[in-house]
Amino acid sequence: MIAVMPLTLLLSSSLIVLLGVAPSVADAASAEVRSENANDIGSFFAIDIEDGALSTSELITKYGYPVESHEATGADGYVISLTRIPARTQRHPRPLLLVHGLLASSADYVLIGPNNSLAYLLADRDYDVWLADMRGNRYSRRHTRLDSDSHDYWDFTWHEMGYYDLPAVIEYILGQTGASQVDYIGHSQGTTVFFVMASSRPEYNEKIGRMYALSPAVCLKRVRSPPVQWLLQNIDALHELFNALGVHQFLPHLSSQYGLARLLCPMTDPENLCIQVVSQTVGPNPKMADMMAMQILVGHDPAGASIKQLFHYAQLQRTGQFRQYDYGRRNNTLRYSHWNAPAYNLSAVTAPVTIFYAQNDWLIDPRDAVDFSKLLPTPPTMHLVEDANFNHLDFTIAINARPMVYEHILASLEERERSNDSGRKRAR
């Protein structure tokens, strides 16, 4: 029951946000927020409370790194924003592409500041770092033809991100840098879209040095999160509701959400509503949660998604099948010339993969990560995070994310260069 209360509040606040009531509430709240004394709360990280209100590029600039903005346009017209921290030298052979999770953004890789966030750790070692923002989130809402307020714009799921956006992004990065491969790091949905691409556009496997999959979201059989279980159980009713309301977006980013969240979830209260909702969703790990980082996070996430993305995940969870979106028998036949939605052919994934997974991840159960690894034609390198309390979100903002995960990625990158592993040999 504990979980249901915040969930109800979350859903009602989402609905309020969706219906556009929130901005005025938040404006009224902002005066009070300003008087909250954030300085009383320190942080483990070199970050400060203003960071929740800055964009990814503004954060990178603030912390003294060079930043460039780029765009790649996929074959179906969606324009994907890319944020680059260029390398000072050409020491490393491959650029790094970092892809965020559901309802998140490129900011996930810089939120916990220098010396801790993965993007900065890579930049410090002179890697060429590219952060993608998948279609429909706050930074990637443009299309060559469609208006981002139109129904047609929002008619996509993570299938199109993997099938159109990632190939366009990879081609763009290779074109800009002259490299022949990128190394890929994805968290959660950032891994789902990768495996969509690698199975349905198999020619792109050749363009990947190694894929580092943080909490891979392909097998979802054992989701432990009570709010997510509730969502899954009520998905049909929600589908009806959203259809009736004509809502295509799920939790779009609002400039006022930071003010609202700070009012509802004061940093001084370690059991505030946001912390409860988040920990019931991703798995509780209070010792490794930094209160300021958690506060800043709600300025950035949710960053927007399509309703269809959620339904596609619900289908994946319900059927246990990694398949394209299921439109029902009749419409599947029209679209796919088959009653069933086509399955992604994971046998075609030849890019080398390293999987990081965590015991206290309430979205991607460790057994699901292991089950997934068995579907790949070449056994991936498996890395179970040492901290038994590590959760789904800890991959992004835990106090110990650096030693538990990022140091291992850095070591793997260095090791591969030392042994002159072109990235292809181990896959064969």
Site for ligand NAG, rule CB under 6 A: 46, 114-115, 202, 327-328, 331, 345, 347-348, 420, 422
Going by C-beta distance under 8 Å and a sequence separation of 6 or more, which residues neighbour residue 100?
106, 107, 108, 109, 131, 132, 133, 134, 137, 187, 189, 190
Catalytic-role residue among 43, 188, 225, 373: 188
Considering the complex, state which of residue 24 and residue 347 has its C-beta at the smaller distance from ligand NAG.
347
Considering the complex, state which of residue 152 and residue 269 has its C-beta at the smaller distance from ligand NAG.
152
CB of 307 to ligand NAG, least distance (A): 13
* Residue environment code for 238-268, b if the CB has 16+ CB neighbours within 10 A, otherwise e: beeebeeeeebbbbbbbebbbbbbbbbbbbe
78-85 vs 129-133, strand pairing mode? antiparallel
- 236 among known catalytic residues: no
Question: Which 3 state secondary structure label does DSSP give 80?
Answer: strand
Considering the complex, state which of residue 255 and residue 422 has its C-beta at the smaller distance from ligand NAG.
422
CB of 378 to ligand NAG, least distance (A): 11
- 253 among known catalytic residues: no
Task: Give how far Cα 5 sits from Cα of 222, 225, 261, 335, Å.
Answer: 22, 14, 17, 40
Considering the complex, state which of residue 34 and residue 329 has its C-beta at the smaller distance from ligand NAG.
329
The answer, yes or no, to whether the previous bond of 167 is cis (omega within 30 of 0) is no
Considering the complex, state which of residue 114 and residue 227 has its C-beta at the smaller distance from ligand NAG.
114
Rg (C-alpha) for the chain, rounded Å, is: 20
CB of 43 to ligand NAG, least distance (A): 11
- 392 among known catalytic residues: yes
Catalytic-role residue among 361, 365, 387, 394: 361
Catalytic residues: 188, 361, 392
